[in-house]
Amino acid sequence: MQTADIRQRWLDFFAARGHAVVPSASLVSDDPTLLFTVAGMVPFVPYLTGIVPAPYDRATSVQKCIRTNDIEEVGKTPRHGTFFQMNGNFSFGDYFKEGAITYAWELLTTPEADGGYGFEPKDLWVTVYEDDDEAIEIWKRVAGLPEERIQRLGKDTNYWHTGQPGPAGPCSEIFFDRGPAYGADGGPATDDDRYVEIWNLVFMQYLIADVKSKTDFRIVRELPKKNIDTGMGLERVAFLKQGVENMYEIDQVRPVLDRAAELSGRRYGADHDDDVRMRVIADHIRSSLMLMSDGVTPSNEGRGYILRRLLRRSIRAMRLLGVEGPTFSELFAASRDAMKAAYPEVESNYSQILQLAVGEEETFLRTLSAGTSILDLAVAKTKDSGSPELAGDTAFLLHDTYGFPIELTLEMAEEAGLAVDRTAFDSLMHDQRSRAKADAKSKKKVLADLSVYADMRAKGETIFTGYTELAQDSTVLGILVDGRPAPVAVAGQTAEVILAETSLYAESGGQAPDQGRIVGDGFELEVLDVQKPVKGLISHTVRVTAGEVGTGVAATTLVDEEYRRGATQAHSGTHLVHAALRQVLGPNAHQSGSFNKAGYLRLDYGWNQALSPATRSEIEEIANDAIRDNLQVVTREMPLDEAKQLGAMALFGEKYGDIVRVVDIGGPWSRELCAGTHVTTSAEIGMINIVGESSVGASNRRVESLVGRDAFQRFAAERALVGELTSTLKTRPEQLVDRVGELVASLKAAEKKIQAFEAKALGDRVPDLAAKAQRTGDVLLVAEAVGSLGSGDELRQLALSVRGKLGDAASVVALAAEVGGKPLAIVATSPAARDAGANAGALAKLMASTLGGGGGGKPDLAQGGGNDVGAIPAALAAVRAELGR
C-alpha cells in the first residue's frame, strides 16, 4: 500500500463520518513558542484549548511535521524521522472516548478491499493510562481485545498536556506487533522495537494547574467540553504496510536513499555504517525539501539554522560515503519526484528550492576545503610536538568558526594516526550551548499565556477598518497588564488593549505596525506595537499617557497619518522593486522575504550573485518609471484559486487563507497577494532610492531602498556632499571622479616612497643592532628596545634581518617596540641556537607575561604583547636572565 493511498484512505474514512477535511498547515508554526509544527494537533490548539471557537465540531487532517530533538537517532532506528506526516482526527466537544476508539479500530481492521488498512486484530496491542478504567472497558467491548493485550502505563507515557496550565487528559496508544524476529515478547511495556506505536488517542477531559513537570501537576476540574486529539504516524504505517524494515525504505523516501547509493557506488545493505549514512541522507534531503517548500532558507539562527544543519549533515554523510563533489541537484530531484504527488508545491517551487540548496552546498564544500587545510596544519603541528592527540580547542575552532563537523575531524585525525581530545571539545561545546541558552533566555520576549485571550476571543474577532479609515470608534474588550487580565490600566503603565474594531495595522506580511493613539473619555494611550496574538484578535501594546482606561469603555483609534502615508509608500514601493527585479533578472529572482516601514523598504530575493552597478541602476530606473507613469493601484478580495488563475504572485513561503487580497499595480505588471496597506496610484510613492544590495545567504540577496521623502533627503544630502567636494577640489561635478582618482593615485605613489624610505631606515639599523650581540649562556643575544614603529611587520622584519646578519652563529634576537601605543615583542632564533635549547615561543611568552599580556609561536619565530609599555626593559632583562642560566 503506497503512502499516498494510506493518506487518502484516512481522509476519505473520516470525511465520510462527518469530519471537515483541513489541509496541512505550514511547517512554520504560528505558535510563537515553536520553531516548527511538531505535531498534527498544533494548528488546532486554539480550538482544543477554547481560545478560538472551533469552526467545526469534528475535523481531520494529514499534517506536515518537523521534529529535531532526536536528530542524532535518525538512520539508527526504524522510526525516527525529522520530517514526518501525522494523520489526525479531532473532536471539539462532539464525540469522546468511545467514538475515538471505535473509529480507530474500524479503520485499522477493515480489510483493504473495503477501504481500511487491513491490520489483523491479533497483531494489535493498546496501552491506556493506569487509572483509565473507562477506556479499558471500551476497548474490550468495541474491539474485543483480551485483558493481556491492554497494558496500563503511567503519566510519563500515557498522559497528555502542553506543559502549561490548561487542558489535559489520559492517552491510549495503539501498537503493532512485528513478531518475535524483532524482539522479546511482553507487549509495548517492554519498550522494544518489536512493538511499533502507530496511533495515539488523547482524551482531553481535565483542566490542570500547578504544572511542575510532565508527571507533577494538579487536576482542577473536568472540562465543560471534552475534546479528542489523535495522531497516526503515516510513515510508520507505510513501512509496516509496505513490508519494509524502516521508514527510510518507504516509497516517499527510498528513491533518495537509492540515488545516494548510486552516486557513492556503495550498496545499501552491505555495511551497517554506510546504511545509516544513506538513511540520514534520505531523511535530511526530504526534510530540507519540505522546509524550503514552506519558505525556510538556510541561515545561522532559528529555523534557518536547523535547515542548514540538515543540509550540512547530508553533505557530510555523502563525504563519508566517499563522494566529495556536489550531489544536491541529483538528490533533491529524487525527493521532489517522490513527494510531488502528495505536495504539488515542491514541484512548483522547485527552481527556488534547488537554487537555495545548491548555493548552500557550494558554500559548505568550500568550507570543508578550507577546514581540511586548517586541520592538515593542526595535524602536522601535533605530530611535530609528539602529542598523540589533537587539541580539543582546535577541533572546536574548526566546528564553531568553519562549520567543520566533529565527526569529520575525528575521521581525518584517525587517518593521520591521532586521537582528538573529546573531553575538551565537549566541554567547550557545553560552554557554548550554556551561553546560547542564557542569551536566548535574556532576549526572549515575555509573551502572555495565550489562554488569557480566550474570553476576549469568545466575544468575536477584531474588525480591521484601516484600509479605508484612519480613525475608528470602538469598545475595549479586554486589558492585560504584565500578561494578566486587569480591569483597568492607569497613567504610567504599559498594557495590552484588545478592541472590537481598530484602524491600526497589526504587523504582518513584512509591514511594520502602525503608529498612533487610542483616546477616550478621560484617557489617552500611546500605541507602541500592534500584533495578532491569536487568530482573529488584534492586540495593541500601549503606554497610558493620561487618565485610566477600563474594559467595556468606548475608545477611538487614531492612526498617525504621516506615518501611515510613509508605510503605504514603502509597501507599494516594495511591489515595484520586486516587479523591476523580475523584469531585469527573470522569474527566478523571486521574493523570499521583506520588511517595510515609513520611508524604508528591504526586499530579499533568490539570486546567487551581486548586482552590477548598471543592473542596480536599471532596476531603480524601472521602479521610478512606474512611479512617474502614475499606475493605478487596485485591491480585490477573492478565493485563492481564482487569484492564482489571474496570475497573482503567491510569495514563496507565505501562508494564505481561502480568501485572499490581490494588489494590482498597473494591472498585471505587478499582481501579488498582499494584506498590507497601499497607495491608490503609484505616483503617491514619490521616489525610490536603492541604497544597498548585499548577500544574506548562499543564494539570497537583499535590496534596501529609501522611499518618498526619505529618498529625496538622501539625494539632497548627496548633492550637498558633491557640492562641497567640487568646491574643495576646485573641479566640476562631472570631473569629480577623475579628480579623486588622480589624488588616490598620487597618495599611493607617496605611500610607496614612504615605505621605501622606512624600509631603508630599518635596514640601516641592522648593523648597529647586530653589533650589540653579547654572549649569553650558549648563544649570542641581541635584546634591545627599538622605540616606536608603525607596525608589527616592521618589527618582525627587523628581527629577521638582525638574525640573518649574525650568520650561522647560535643567535637569539629579542626586540621590543611600541606599536600603536602598546608594547610588542618579537623573538627570532637561529638553527644552532635551537639546537642549544633556545625556543622563540617560550621566550616570547616569557616577555609577554612581563608586559601584561600573552604570546607564543614557533621555536624559530614568535611574538608577544601586552599593555604596559614601561615594562619593556624588564621584559628584555627577563630574556637575558633566562638564557644566562
CA atoms of 718 and 813, how far apart (whole Å): 54
Q: List the grid coordinates of 249.
A: 525504505
- Helix or strand holding residue 530 (H, E): strand 523-531
Question: In this structure, which amino acid lies at residue 543?
Answer: R
Which residue, among 759, 798, 761, has the nearest Cα to 782 in the 3D structure? 798
Instruction: Identify whether the C-beta of residue 736 lies closer than 8 Å to the C-beta of residue 728.
Output: no
Q: What is the SS3 assignment for 316? A: helix
Q: Binding site annotation covers 430? A: no
DSSP state of 267: P
Half-sphere exposure of 252 (CA within 13 A, CB side): 29
CA atoms of 703 and 707, how far apart (whole Å): 13
Q: What angle do CA 609, 611, 614 make, to 5 degrees?
A: 150
DSSP state of 121: G
Q: Binding site annotation covers 399? A: no
Its sign, for the CA torsion 185, 190, 194, 198, is positive
Q: What is the SS3 assignment for 399? A: helix
Burial grade of 447 (CB within 10 A; 0-12, 13-18, 19 or more): exposed
Q: List the grid coordinates of 97.
A: 472516548
Which residue, among 297, 304, 302, has the nearest Cα to 357 in the 3D structure? 297
Q: Binding site annotation covers 272? A: no
CA distances from 790 to 350, 560, 765, 770, 885 (A): 55, 55, 15, 21, 34
CA atoms of 378 and 376, how far apart (whole Å): 5
Q: Binding site annotation covers 678? A: yes
What is the residue whose three cell numbers read 534596501? 704
CA atoms of 47 and 688, how far apart (whole Å): 44
360-365, long-range: CB < 8 A, 24+ apart: 360/298, 360/308, 360/311, 360/312, 360/328, 360/697, 360/698, 360/699, 361/311, 361/315, 361/326, 361/327, 361/328, 362/326, 362/698, 363/698, 364/311, 364/312, 364/315, 364/403, 365/315, 365/324, 365/325, 365/326
CA atoms of 773 and 833, how far apart (whole Å): 13
Q: List the grid coordinates of 695.
A: 548577500
Which residue, among 428, 416, 429, has the nearest Cα to 382 in the 3D structure? 416
Residues 6 or more apart in contact with residue 640 via CB below 8 angstroms: 650, 656, 657, 658, 659, 660, 673
Strand order across the beta sheet in which 688-697 lies: 591-597, 600-606, 700-707, 688-697
DSSP state of 35: S
Q: List the grid coordinates of 585.
A: 533578472
CA atoms of 837 and 857, how far apart (whole Å): 16
Q: List the grid coordinates of 796.
A: 618582525
Q: Which segments are annotated as binding site?
A: 571, 575, 674, 678
Q: Which segments are annotated as binding site for Zn(2+)?
A: 571, 575, 674, 678
